[in-house]
């Protein structure tokens, strides 16, 4: 709601480049798609809290085959995409704040997963990227 409003009124906007907007649309759509894919892969195991569900198991299928935290990656891609689509440097800054926040959450989640799944988690961690393939 905020970034389209700011875009229409020229508040905190980047110079307008049509290709930037198209790239932003593609990124936002891809990010949302990745988020939905993770919801499908996790099923009933998804929780907004850092917690384990009853009869929890380690999900290593779908987007989790390559990335341990694809939902967060999807959120970052969506945030960057919407910021580019609506020319918002404010949105880019907020996406950076989101990144810093999720890095702390990832630390907590991975400690919980290591405690719960032990060697299975360690083996999975060796075969996957934490957040972004070839980067982290």
Biggest CA–CA distance in the chain, Å, is 54
Q: What sections of 1-136 are H helices per DSSP?
A: 2-9, 18-42, 70-85, 89-117, 119-127
Report pTM.
0.84
Give pLDDT tens digits for 79-88.
999 999 999 9
Residue 121: predicted pLDDT:
94
CA 112 – CA 115 distance, rounded (Å) = 5
Residue 136: predicted pLDDT:
80
Taking the chain (136 residues) in runs of 10, the rounded mean pLDDT of each run is 77 86 96 95 76 78 94 95 92 92 93 93 94 82
CA 43 – CA 53 distance, rounded (Å) = 11
Residue 2: predicted pLDDT:
77
Residue 31: predicted pLDDT:
97
Which H or E run includes 130? none
């Amino acid at each position: 709601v905020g970034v389209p409003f700011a875009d229409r009124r020229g508040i905190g906007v980047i110079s307008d480049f049509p290709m930037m907007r198209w790239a932003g649309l593609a990124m936002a759509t891809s990010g949302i798609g990745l988020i939905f894919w993770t919801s499908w892969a996790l099923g009933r195991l998804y929780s907004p809290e850092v917690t384990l569900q009853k009869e929890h198991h380690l999900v290593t299928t779908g987007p989790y085959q390559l990335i341990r935290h694809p939902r967060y990656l999807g959120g970052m891609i969506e945030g960057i995409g919407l910021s580019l689509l609506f020319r918002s440097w404010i949105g880019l800054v907020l996406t950076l704040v989101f990144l810093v926040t999720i890095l702390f959450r990832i630390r907590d989640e991975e400690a919980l997963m290591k405690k719960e799944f032990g060697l299975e988690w360690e083996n999975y961690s060796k075969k996957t990227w934490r957040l972004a393939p070839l980067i982290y």
